[in-house]
């Protein structure tokens, strides 16, 4: 069964919707800014910047919605509403409609705020909606509720691969015949002192406090860690048959999926990137494509000293000399790392790249790592080839989760 | 200092409005929380928790089921404050 993409939605550090986010990406804008709060003074957080939403959900949702949902679910609902409307608000049997929206961390704001309440004001002050707000399946459950998706609501959790895994599961949900349409994606709202402190404690974050916009610099020799980001990306996956029957606009095809696990270390990637490369191979195989069909890769590339080059070497070894013709983009240079939302937002970028035949730039690369042997799109967007072509979107997560998605032109 | 019944009603109406988007003017003494204002049990528990904090009173869980109308809640809170 062929699977196509018929709707896109996002709220991101580059904009409150797909149009403004894509426009920001093509312009090479950074969505990373200094945090305007007292966390440094109050808690001594060592990192004082992040990729923050341009349009807070409170500006577009009703007051009760913002009170009943954790910020992670609010962002997912904003992105899902855009994607659903973009798909033409399809008429579909609710029992043939699925929801798979993931979060890497879940309702961390709700959980930690409720714990503050217990400590400061006692257990009786904890609000009754705390559990449905903090549970990591809350975003997918709210999406299911809103669009009456009764074929199943799932939330695969695999750290920073969660959003891509959700899209992968949506692909399989349609291919297995369980659904005609699946609302898929990822979301994260973890710009909170605790996750920042914890990621900083493991030396994962860039500490470029004096240059937030220049901090996320995948493949640059002076990269020093990832930049936290927040937001959500949602794609509407649909069986080609269903999309054709209703005359839907089709952005791209989802052709292949590869998922592997490193089984190597709880946080560090396997040094040779074998699991990552195998995910890309499996995705190509499932898509029935060869490496020559690939013209673009949206890399996981988070701007960490070790991770970026493991992935880049894997891409080179998979594609061989053809890597010289493949345009590599690392969009986290502009958005920061949306953790569980990353794979979904980057799928939106990959799909837009194929639709518009334009690979977005990778900003802040002043001196590329000398080992990099893939054609990196720097500073300005570049054109993808005409005719049938395909692109890979990679996402990897702490725990050794590797997900590769292959999208193709219509 | 104990608040008057009107003051409690105004404060409670604000809480209900924040949680449900119902206009404060709609929250009148004769309204039933479930039948007229369409407030489900979890939202009712949220309103009770926020009211306890706002009016500095204790509303026992077993008492909540007796608070059928807005008047029931306002009267209970007014008396509990006294």
CATH value at residue A110: 3.40.47.10
Q: Are A345 and A240 members of one domain?
A: no
Tell me the residue range of the domain where A158 lies. Answer: 3-245
Q: Are residues A158 and A47 in the same domain?
A: yes
- Asked whether residue A120 falls in the same domain as residue A24, the answer is yes
Q: Are residues A92 and A239 in the same domain?
A: yes
Dihedral sign of CA atoms A73, A79, A85, A89 in order: negative
Question: Does A312 share its domain with A369?
Answer: yes
- Is it the case that residue A136 has pLDDT exceeding 80? yes
In sequence order, which ranges of A267-389 are alpha helices (DSSP H)? Answer: 274-287, 307-319, 332-335, 342-356
Same domain, yes or no: A239 and A261: no
User: Which among A64, A67, A127 has the least Cβ separation from residue B49?
Assistant: A127
The span from the CA of A367 to the CA of A277, in Å, is: 25
Residues A76 and A189 in one domain: yes
Residues A86-109 pLDDT 10s: 999 999 999 999 999 999 999 999
Query: How confident is the model over A39-64, as pLDDT tens digits?
Result: 999 999 999 999 999 999 999 999 89
ipTM over 0.90: no
Of A310, A308, A112, the closest CA to residue A198 belongs to: A112
Same domain, A7 and A133: yes
Cα–chain center distance at B80: 13
- First and final C-alpha spacing in chain B: 8
User: Where do the domains of chain B lie, and which CATH numbers do they carry?
Assistant: 5-81 (1.10.1200.10)
Kindly report the nearest CA distance between residue A132 and chain B, in angstroms: 10
Please name which of A287, A405, A311 lies closest in space to residue A351, comparing C-alpha atoms: A405
Examine residue A313 and state whether it is found in any structural domain, yes or no. yes
Rounded to an integer, what is the distance from CA B60 to the centroid of its chain?
Answer: 13
Q: What is the pLDDT of residue A202?
A: 95
- CA separation for the pair A398, A59 (Å, rounded): 33
Query: Using the 8-state DSSP alphabet, how is residue A378 labeled?
Result: B
Select from A216, A245, A274 the last residue of a domain: A245
A225 and A265 within one domain: no
Q: Which pTM was predicted?
A: 0.96
| The dihedral formed by the CA atoms of A329, A248, A4 and A244, expressed in degrees to the nearest 10 | -150
Total of domains in chain A: 2
A121 touches chain B (CB under 8 A): yes
Interchain contact A58–B (C-beta under 8 A): no
The two beta strands, A327-329 and A375-376, are parallel
A373 and A316 Cβ atoms separated by less than 8 Å: yes
Average pLDDT over residues A97-123: 97
pLDDT value of position A366: 97
- Residue A250 in any domain: the answer is no
Task: Please tell me whether residues A354 and A378 are part of one structural domain.
Answer: yes
- Residues (pLDDT < 50) of chain B are none
Catalytic residue, chosen from A32, A141, A160, A326, is: A160
Residues A129 and A177 placed together within one structural domain of the fold: yes
Measured distance CA(B25)–CA(A380) in Å, rounded: 55
Tokens of B13: 């109406």
**How far apart are the C-alpha atoms of A383 and A8, rounded to whole Å?**
21
Structure tokens at B62: 């077993």
Q: For residue A88, how many C-alpha atoms fall within 13 Å in the half-sphere facing its CB?
A: 17
């Amino acid at each position: 069964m062929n699977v196509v993409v018929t709707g896109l939605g996002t709220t991101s550090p580059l904009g409150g919707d797909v149009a403004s986010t894509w426009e920001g990406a093509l312009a090479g804008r950074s969505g990373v800014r200094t945090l305007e709060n007292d966390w440094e003074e109050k808690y001594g957080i060592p990192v004082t910047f992040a990729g923050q939403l341009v349009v807070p959900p409170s500006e577009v949702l009703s007051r009760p919605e913002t009170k009943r949902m954790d910020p992670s679910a609010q962002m997912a609902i904003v992105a899902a509403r855009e994607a659903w409307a973009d798909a033409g608000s399809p008429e579909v049997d609710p029992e043939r409609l699925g929801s798979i929206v993931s979060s890497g961390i879940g309702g961390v704001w709700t959980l930690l705020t409720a714990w503050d309440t217990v400590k400061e004001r006692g257990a009786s002050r904890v609000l009754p909606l705390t559990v449905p707000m903090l549970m990591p399946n809350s975003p997918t459950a709210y999406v299911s509720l809103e669009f009456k998706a009764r074929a199943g609501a799932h939330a695969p959790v695999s750290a920073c691969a969660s959003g891509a895994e959700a899209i992968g599961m949506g692909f399989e949900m349609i291919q297995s015949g369980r659904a005609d349409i699946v609302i898929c994606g990822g979301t994260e709202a973890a710009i909170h002192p605790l996750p920042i402190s914890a990621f900083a404690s493991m030396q994962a974050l860039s500490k470029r406090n004096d240059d937030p916009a220049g901090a996320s610099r995948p493949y640059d020799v002076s990269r020093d860690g990832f930049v936290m980001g927040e937001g959500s990306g949602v794609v509407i996956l649909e069986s080609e048959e269903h999309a054709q029957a209703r005359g839907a606009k089709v952005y791209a095809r989802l052709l292949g999926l590869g998922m592997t696990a490193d089984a190597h270390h709880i946080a560090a990637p396997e040094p040779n990137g074998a699991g990552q490369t195998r995910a890309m191979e499996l995705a190509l195989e499932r898509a029935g494509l060869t490496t020559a069909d690939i013209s673009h890769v949206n890399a996981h590339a988070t701007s960490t000293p070790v991770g970026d080059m493991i992935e880049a070497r894997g891409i080179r070894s998979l594609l061989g000399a053809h890597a010289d013709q493949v345009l590599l983009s690392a969009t986290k240079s502009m958005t920061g790392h949306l953790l569980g939302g990353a794979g979904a937002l980057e799928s939106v970028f990959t799909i837009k790249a194929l639709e518009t035949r334009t690979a977005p730039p990778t900003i802040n690369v002043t001196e590329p790592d000398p080992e990099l042997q893939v054609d990196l799109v720097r500073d300005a967007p570049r054109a993808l080839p005409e005719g049938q072509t395909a692109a890979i979107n990679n996402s990897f997560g702490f725990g050794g989760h590797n997900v590769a998605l292959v999208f193709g032109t219509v | 200092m104990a608040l008057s019944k009107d003051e409690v009603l105004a404060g409670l109406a604000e809480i209900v409005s924040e949680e449900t988007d119902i206009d404060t003017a709609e929250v009148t003494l004769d309204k039933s929380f479930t039948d007229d204002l369409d407030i489900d049990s979890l939202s009712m528990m949220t309103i009770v928790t926020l009211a306890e904090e706002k009016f500095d009173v204790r509303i026992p869980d077993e008492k909540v089921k007796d608070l059928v109308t807005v008047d029931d809640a306002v009267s209970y809170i007014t008396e509990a404050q006294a």
